């Protein structure tokens, strides 16, 4: 006799924020994203949109974004004045575009 058990999960995926980065700062090589167990380096392409990591919503801590002068986020290459902190609240997934200009980070 063959016994078959089916397990169904109705749990929905956690809502996430998809990120995109665009830089108009020629000397910026990457953005280092840190927070909530994540530490990842996103290489930038001057004046081109590049995909970034998916970030969790409703976390106890914020994410930190550091512009780096190297594409591989080597230690000691953070660019002075190019830093921001963001946290995300909500129930729906979305996409945010994070821009980097000479005046710092912006987002929409």
Let me know if residue 11 belongs to a domain.
Answer: no
Number of domains in the chain: 1
Its pTM stands at: 0.86
Q: Return d(Cα 44, Cα 66) in angstroms, integer.
A: 12
State the Cα–Cα distance between residues 19 and 97, nearest whole angstrom. Answer: 6
Question: Does residue 8 belong to any structural domain of this protein?
Answer: no
Residue 103 sits in a domain whose CATH number is 2.60.40
What phi-psi label fits residue 37: left (phi over 0), alpha (psi between -120 and 50 degrees) or beta? left
Instruction: Write out the residue range of the structural domain in which residue 37 sits.
Output: 16-107
Q: What is the mean pLDDT of residues 65-89?
A: 97
Q: pLDDT category, 36, cuts 50, 70, 90?
A: very high
- pLDDT by residue (tens digit) across 53-73? 999 999 999 999 999 999 999
């Amino acid at each position: 006799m063959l016994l078959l058990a089916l397990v169904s999960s109705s749990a929905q995926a956690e809502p996430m924020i998809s990120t995109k980065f665009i830089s108009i700062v020629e000397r910026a090589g990457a953005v280092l994203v840190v927070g909530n167990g994540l530490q990842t380096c996103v290489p930038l392409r001057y004046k081109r949109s590049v995909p970034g990591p998916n970030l969790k919503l409703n976390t106890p801590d914020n994410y930190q974004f550091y512009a780096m002068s190297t594409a591989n986020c080597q230690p000691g290459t953070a660019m002075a004045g190019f830093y921001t902190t963001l946290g995300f609240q909500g129930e729906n997934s979305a996409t945010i575009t994070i821009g980097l200009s000479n005046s710092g980070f912006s987002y929409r």
